[in-house]
């Protein structure tokens, strides 16, 4: 399913607070802070000329976040960035001294961090990022995981010293429980979704995501004509769409939000014209996108700047994982997790449907940007779905680079 967004406003797209959050200057500050980290490297941007020819488009470019900060996911940019910002904010407040990214090792800043505990609910990747950020600054973290989070993903979070709390139910249940426990105990919730009265911290998380887009745009040079980005609660999609709108105005690319058909809370929200919580049904293979209620801030942004919303089926997600692992015609091999290639799966769906192509103006001159949002964050599940170990696919990619 694909529907146009009739709420979009190409004249004055964002509210002032959202424009400030996703501004070019805010993105530059994110990149400045990121550049101070020893583990920072810009992630690869791959071109898929063979697939572009097959789909009848001019170019397909894939920003590969499977290499981000050792976490294998774009989420590494959000939660950890927010934790660092919050520690520096608190240090300024308590000490009366200025504190910047270069001051994280300062004794008084470390003392403040040691007294702070950060909590969040997670499908896996965001929790790892928050735990990594807390470990980096010397704070504590408590991560709440719901029933569908695999043991491999839980172990990856615990690797960063986090205390793990298991919650029965869905991701949305874990968000609610985490917020209550953190409020009761005076901990700081670092959520990648927002609700009424809770927007500043999710805004920091979204700010962190802008770094990947800035890297991609510098390398691309000529702006893309279309951008397809997957969504759970909508954070990465909103950050990307909002920043593109601010950077390019009415000349911005056509932006398409892609969701699992089994968890399409944003598509149902745009149909209704207001936030909608969809019923929890059969779980989706796209585990990192299994969210049933949108982030309020993300919806506020996407309602103004996203051009269309669409869904993909379970087989689409698995098919694109396999296509990227076994490329044709000289395209590079890419390790994409269950949710990583969903934006590209959306493009494949649109390209094969004449009505959808016409709706989005997709043709032989179109230049499309997509984001591989995660690598094999659960290696066993990846091998089960693809039939190859991540290392086998990554080995092919390494040889191609040589």
Active site residues: 75, 123
Contact 290, 283 (CB under 8 A): yes
- The Cβ-side half-sphere exposure at 18, using a 13 Å CA radius, reads 24
- The Cβ-side half-sphere exposure at 239, using a 13 Å CA radius, reads 30
In degrees, rounded to 5, the angle at the alpha carbon of residue 35 between the alpha carbons of residues 29 and 39 is: 140
Structure token pair of residue 75: 């989420």
> From edge to edge, which strands make up the β-sheet containing 117-122?
163-167, 140-146, 117-122, 188-189
* Backbone phi and psi for residue 217, each to the nearest 5 degrees, phi listed first: -65, -35
**Alpha-carbon distance 157 to 224, whole Å?**
35
Residue by residue, DSSP assigns 295-355 as: -HHHHHHHHHH--EEEEE-HHHHHHHHHHHHS--TTPPP----TTTTHHHHHHHHHHT-HH
**Alpha-carbon distance 209 to 121, whole Å?**
18
């Amino acid at each position: 399913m694909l529907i146009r967004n009739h709420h979009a406003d190409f004249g004055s797209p964002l509210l002032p607070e959202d424009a400030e959050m996703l501004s070019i200057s805010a993105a530059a500050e994110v990149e400045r802070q990121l550049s101070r980290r020893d583990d920072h490297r810009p992630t690869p941007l791959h071109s898929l000329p063979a697939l572009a020819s097959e789909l009848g488009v001019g170019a397909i470019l894939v920003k590969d976040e499977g290499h981000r900060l050792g976490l294998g996911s774009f989420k590494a940019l959000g939660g950890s960035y927010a934790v660092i910002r919050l520690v520096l904010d608190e240090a300024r407040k308590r000490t009366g001294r200025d504190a910047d990214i270069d001051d994280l090792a300062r004794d008084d800043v470390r003392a403040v961090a040691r007294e702070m505990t950060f909590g969040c609910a997670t499908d896996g990747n965001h929790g790892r990022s928050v735990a990594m950020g807390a470990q980096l600054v010397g704070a504590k973290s408590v991560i709440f995981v719901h029933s569908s989070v695999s043991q491999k993903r839980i172990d990856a979070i615990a690797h960063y010293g986090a205390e793990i709390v298991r919650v029965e139910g869905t991701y949305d249940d874990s968000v609610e429980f985490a917020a209550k426990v953190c409020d009761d105990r005076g901990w700081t919730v670092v959520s990648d979704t927002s609700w009424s009265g809770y927007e500043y911290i999710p805004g920091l998380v979204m700010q962190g995501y802008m770094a990947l887009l800035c890297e991609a745009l510098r390398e691309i040079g000529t702006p893309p004509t279309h951008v397809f980005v997957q969504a759970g609660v909508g954070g990465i999609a909103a950050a990307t769409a909002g920043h593109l709108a601010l950077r390019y105005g009415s000349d911005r690319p056509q932006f398409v939000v892609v969701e699992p058909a089994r968890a399409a809370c944003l598509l149902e929200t745009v149909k209704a014209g207001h936030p909608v919580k969809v019923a929890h049904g059969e779980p989706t293979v796209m585990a990192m996108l299994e969210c049933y209620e949108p982030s309020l801030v993300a919806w506020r942004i996407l309602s103004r700047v996203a051009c269309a919303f669409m869904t993909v089926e379970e087989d689409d997600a698995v098919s694109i994982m396999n296509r990227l692992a076994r490329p044709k015609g000289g395209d590079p091999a890419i390790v994409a997790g269950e949710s990583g290639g969903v934006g590209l799966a959306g493009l494949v769906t649109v390209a094969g449907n004449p009505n959808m192509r016409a709706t989005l103006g997709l043709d032989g001159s179109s230049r499309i940007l997509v984001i591989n949002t995660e690598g094999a964050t659960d290696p066993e599940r990846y091998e089960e779905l693809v039939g190859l170990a991540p290392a086998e696919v990554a080995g092919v990619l390494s040889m191609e680079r040589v």
